[in-house]
Amino acid sequence: MSEKKFSPVRFRHPIRVVNLCFTIVLLCSTLLTWRELAVLENAYLSSQRNSLDTIAAALDRHLQYGVDRLLFYRAAMEEALAVPVIKPSDDALQTFSTQRNNEGWLLNVNNQRGVPLRGVSDAYVEQNAFLTREDAWLNRELSAASEFSYLLDSASADPGLQRHLFYTSRAGFYLSPLAQEQEEARIRSHYHRLVNHPYFSAHAKRNNPSRAVRWTHSQSPVHHATRSLTASVPLDYEQRWYGVLAMDFTVDAMTQFLLESLQEDHDADVVLYDSRFQVIAATRSTVNRAHLLTAEQKAKLAGMMKHATEGDYRLGTRFISWARLRYFDGVLVRVDTLSQSAKGEFGKITLVLALLWLLFTGMLIFSWVIIRRMVRSMYQMQNHLQWRAWYDTLTRLFNRGAFFERAKKAALRCHEQNEPYAVIQLDLDNFKSINDRFGHQAGDRVLSHAAVLVSQTLRAQDIAGRGRGRGVLHHAAGRHRC
């Protein structure tokens, strides 16, 4: 068989080996970088969740403190209803008797201490189904309200969320340390706003049979121009509903609290939602609040809240962490965009990690190009030297050494298989005269042409080579596989 080119086994091709090695290195570096990015992302989400948990815990403490105060004042009112300690003076009761039919009235139980009682007429009370003014219970409630007014006057507003405590009675009066109304029409308007606010009707026995704390989110019952989160509890004694104690948590104060809780991370969006996913307070402007979560995202978050009290997930280029509050039926949500997270510490680490991977990949590709060229050059040189060692450059047949080596192997194989073989020597007649007459170049062309003719007659198992003489060709032939 005549071989024109040295061809090693395909999978051992050095170029393929180099490509495979560099591919494995690039794949491993990419996987390791991706793994580090995944770990970094989990650490980032954990950090955001821990930060949100801290804010939620602090907010819960404020809400718990407010609810505890509210329950304490309700207990004080119930105790005052049961065993009154301070009773209104006869002058105060006489003043009430003369003013109770006025559109709006004001009663100072004590000019030096306590909060004045402000109320509406008997006619107004009779027009509202939630209100009742029975004289059999009225004196007891006025005594309890007089006693409570001293506590209300001494109660200071919380510096954190600026809570406002007030009491609204079904008997047609209210107590509020912030109320400044003096005119009858303004007193009546304020009381009308109080009893028609959702917090008041929410404590009717059919609406709140458990008599638990209820939360409402709307305009403040005290300051109608200010939005607030209102916690309220009913005042009951001997199966009778007297009124409602309520406490305001202003939205502005809660927003400021969220901003201060973020400390240096002011770019994050933290939103407090109620149970219906209405925004109560947010660190972002009012214009952009509605775009923080879509309806589908709110539905997904509501589904997650059924099975856990906190969690986080990634949504495209945004990281969302959430935590439910214990003392309020709502959820605190933190939304961080990719651009916001890139400005923080984790973003800088991610950027450095990505740059290192790009630098390593660039160096790897540059090295691959250089090494691939070197290996290709060495491989081509090896093929050339190997071909020169095995073949005759003129006839492109095996040279003398390669021919005898192949012939010996073929003869040994035929001998082992007990098959015949033959060796044929060809000598070109009058070849010397061609060299002498036409020159060595013509002789080389004749010899090359003769080698082509011999190669065309070879079978798969035949071997052809050139001997020492310029016109000598050797031909080893055998049967079957030899």
Sign of the torsion formed by the C-alpha atoms of 196, 198, 200 and 204: positive
Q: Which pLDDT score is estimated for 170?
A: 93
Q: In terms of Cα–Cα distance, which of 132, 131, 139 is closest to 89?
A: 139
pLDDT per residue rounded down to tens, the chain (482 residues) = 344 444 444 446 778 888 888 889 989 989 998 888 888 878 877 887 888 888 888 888 888 888 898 899 999 899 888 887 766 667 777 888 888 888 888 887 665 567 888 999 999 999 988 899 888 888 888 888 888 887 776 665 555 566 788 899 999 999 887 766 677 888 898 899 899 988 898 898 898 999 999 998 887 777 766 788 889 999 999 889 999 999 888 888 888 888 888 766 656 788 888 888 888 888 865 445 555 677 777 788 888 888 888 887 777 777 788 888 888 888 888 887 776 666 667 777 778 888 889 999 899 899 888 888 888 888 788 777 777 777 777 777 877 777 788 888 888 888 888 888 788 777 777 777 777 778 878 877 887 888 888 877 777 778 888 776 555 555 565 544 33
Beta bridge partners of 463: 476
Distance from the first to the final alpha carbon of the chain: 10
Q: Which pLDDT score is estimated for 7?
A: 45
- Cα separation, 52 vs 323, whole angstroms: 7
- Local structure of residue 261 (DSSP, 8 states): H
Q: Which pLDDT score is estimated for 287?
A: 42
- φ, ψ (nearest 5 deg) of residue 421: -150, 165
Count CA atoms within 13 Å of residue 210 on its CB side: 3
CA distances from 199 to 60, 229, 279 (A): 21, 10, 18
- Cα separation, 134 vs 121, whole angstroms: 13
- φ, ψ (nearest 5 deg) of residue 57: -65, -40
Q: What Rg do the C-alpha atoms of the chain give, in angstroms?
A: 49
Sheet strands (E) in 403-471:
421-427, 463-466
- Cα separation, 118 vs 172, whole angstroms: 8
Q: Which pLDDT score is estimated for 312?
A: 79
Q: What are the contacts of 181-184 at 24+ separation with CB within 8 A?
A: 181/104, 181/106, 181/118, 182/106, 183/104, 184/102, 184/103, 184/104, 184/105
- φ, ψ (nearest 5 deg) of residue 363: -65, -35
